[in-house]
Every structure is written in C-alpha cells, then in structure tokens.
Amino acid sequence: MDGGFNTRAIHAGQDPDPATGAVIPPLHLTTTYKQDGVGGLRGGYEYSRSGNPTRTALQEALAALEEGTTGLAFASGLAAEDTLLRTVCEPGSHVVLGGDAYGGTFRLISRVAAPWGVEHSPADLNDLDALRSVMRPTTRVIWCETPTNPLLNIADIARLAEFAHEHGALLVVDNTFASPYLQRPLTLGADVVVHSTTKYLGGHSDVVGGALVVGDDELADRLAYHQNAMGAVNGPFDAWLVLRGIKTLGVRMDRHGANAACIAEFLLGHPAVGSVLYPGLPDHPGHDVAARQMSGFGGMLSFRLTGGEEAALRVCERARVFTLAESLGGVESLIEHPARMTHASAAGSPLEVPADLVRLSVGIEDAEDLLADLDQALA
Ligand SMILES: *Cc1c(COP(=O)(O)O)cnc(C)c1O
C-alpha cells in the first residue's frame, strides 16, 4: 500500500471485502476454516491461532505504518516481547536494557527470562563507553525505549543501531510512546519495533494488545513461527478495535502533541513546579535528537513538584478532568504518581523514579479545560 501515513493508516491491509464490498474489514469470529478437499486452504487459512483475516488486516496495517515488511499482532505488549525474546535468545544469551525501560519489560527480562538462562545488564543508552563496557560476545539484543517512561529520556536510534550491528546484536526499539506517526525506528536502522497497541495505536483505552514489526524476512519467518507455536495471539475483536483506532492515529497524535506543548509551557511558569520533562522543550537534554528522529514530541509529559512527594500526591488526587489512572495513550487525559503506581515495583532498583514526579498522558480534550484543571489541582 503506497501513499502518505494517514492514507496507509486508513487503507493498508483494509481493502473492501471481496465477498460483500464491506468497507470495514469484517470481524472474523471463527476458529476454523472449511477446506476445499484435504489441504485445500482458502487464502492460507486453516485455524485462527495460525491465521485469522481480521488479524491479518491489522498486521498488514502495522507493517505499512512502521515501514517494515511484516507485522505480527499479540494479546498484549508483553506477550509480543516474550515471543521476541524467546525467538532471538537462548540459554546463555545476554540482553542489554536501557536504564529506564518500561517496568514490565524489566520484570520480564530480570524475573522471567533470567531463570531460563538469559542474562541482562542495564545501561545508559546515551553513553557509548558505558554501553561498550557491558557488551559481551553473547549479547543478542540492545533493548531501547525512546522516549522513556516516565522520565522522557531520548536515545539516538540511528547511532544505537550502528553500535548494535558492529557488535553483532539486534536493536529492538519499543516505539509505544512515540507511535509510528511520530517515529519509525526501522527507517533509522533498528531491527525490531515493539508496541503495546494498548496505548496510542488502540487509542481509546478499550483494548489490550501488542505487536512486533520487522523488515527482515528471515527474522520475520522465525517470529511468525513462534507467534503460532507459542500462541499468544490477540482475538479478532481485539485486532478489529486496534485497526479502528489506527485510522485516526495521525489526527489524534497531532492534538495530543499540541495539548502537551501548551501544558509544558504552562507548567514551566508555575511556582509549584520544579521541572518539566518534555522532549519538545528546547532545554530538554534529548531535544535535538528528538527533533531529528521524531516528527513531533508526543503527548506524554512528566513534572516534578517543588513541594516533594506530598505535593505530587495532592495534585494527582485533586485533578478532575485528568483521571487518576495507570496506562496512557487514550483520548482522555490521565494523571498518575509513578513512584507509587506504575513504577512501584522499581523501588530500590536502578529504575527507581523520584517521589516528587507526576506523569501525564495528555488527551485530546480542549486545552483550556486541561490547563484550568491543572491550575486548580496545583493551587
Ligand atoms: C504498556 C507498555 C508495555 C506493555 O504493554 P501491555 O500491552 O501492557 O502488555 C510495554 N512498553 C511500554 C512502553 C508500555 O507503555
């Protein structure tokens, strides 16, 4: 499917149904498919763990958006990550993990993969000397998130891809925070893109899902084999919901970014706020790299309160338009306290986050209502 990003989001993998002309891909709620004689499969479909047309539509759309050749959809972001790790690692393999990776990714690698003999080292992905010192001959993967959660750090994808390849490792980029609308890691040299489609791709806080996208056919075949063999696929309705969300990804991301920029500006000038972490701000340490590799700065923003943890908790509790909840990437604005909520399990680890930090997932409501809400919550 050719065309610009928004055209691909609406049409890739989603041709009108040949049987009926249905403009929207049908929801194929079937586990099995009639064979025209033994082995006479129609379109390759045999059993819905192995393949389902609604999932195929989503997978083709994901590949087109990330400019990869193959997309694979899963029951959750972590199911996608697990399938990837078990495909490219074996006992004795080593994974290098960016300093403030998603807590669930850290847990999967450090608690679930480790007992099976997969070793890991945390590293600052912006410090190539530090990175070089943790690389081993067995390093299979450098795992990168950019922007990170919840500190909004930025890593240079093109530079990391080159570094990983010099060391015979794959660069995996978790692109959940940026979404393919703002950043396409495969075009910068990354080998695998990971998504929690639960977030911006689904976009409406009503479906949990995950995805992998690659551009290499050999790796795609191995991942597809494991997708079927391990079976952590999403159901057709979940695939359909993500597909529907994807159609408006571009307009949603534009509004998420515009609202977040307004809020960053407002918070910068507020006396109760010590610092604002948003890559769109010119003095953010990753601003230049973000400006180069992203086409916008997204809807995630964190800030620290001069009044410490107590002030941070109070803002979270007083917000009204911002809903106090975990997760992110939906049309509604959310507020949370990472140290006690999403990142509570990181307490005491290298991933611990400051207690005076508040994270916002800025939604697409009217900016003035969001600003008024933060103003009263900070008062
Ligand atoms: C939510 C999230 C995940 C995990 O995805 P699930 O769909 O919750 O399994 C992974 N990475 C990032 C950056 C996330 O925000």
What residue type is 227 in one-letter code? Q
Write down the domain spans for the chain.
5-246, 249-378
CATH topology for 5-246?
A: Aspartate Aminotransferase; domain 2 (3.40.640)
Q: Do 5-246 and 249-378 agree at the fold level? A: no
| C-alpha atoms less than 13 angstroms from C-alpha of 330 in its C-beta half-sphere | 17
Distance CA 331, CA 333 (A): 7
304 is catalytic: no
102 is catalytic: yes
* Rounded mean pLDDT, 55-63: 98
Provide long-range contacts, Cβ within 8 A and 24+ apart, for 291-297. 293/146, 293/156, 293/157, 293/158, 293/183, 293/188, 294/178, 294/182, 294/183, 295/181, 295/182, 295/183, 296/181, 296/182, 296/253, 296/254, 296/257, 297/182, 297/257, 297/260, 297/261
Where residue 320 falls among pLDDT bands split at 50, 70, 90?
very high
Question: Which residue among the candidates 8, 184, 199, 252 is catalytic per the annotation?
Answer: 199
CATH topology for 249-378?
A: Aspartate Aminotransferase, domain 1 (3.90.1150)
Least confident of 108-117, 295-304, 346-355, 366-375: 346-355
- pLDDT over 70 for what percent of the chain? 100
| Distance between Cα 364 and ligand 1 center (Å) | 21
Burial class, 137, CB count within 10 angstroms (exposed 0-12 / middle 13-18 / buried 19+):
exposed
Q: What is the pLDDT of residues 209-219, one digit of tens each?
A: 999 999 999 99
Q: What is the pLDDT of residues 3-40, one digit of tens each?
A: 999 999 999 999 999 999 999 999 999 999 999 999 99
CB of residue 102 inside a 6 A radius of ligand 1: yes
Candidates 10, 362, 352; CA nearest to 177 is 362
Residue of minimum CA distance from atom 6 in ligand 1: 77
Are 214 and 243 in contact by the 8 Å Cβ rule? The answer is: no
The residues with which 302 forms a beta bridge, in sequence order, are: 277, 359
| C-alpha atoms less than 13 angstroms from C-alpha of 379 in its C-beta half-sphere | 8
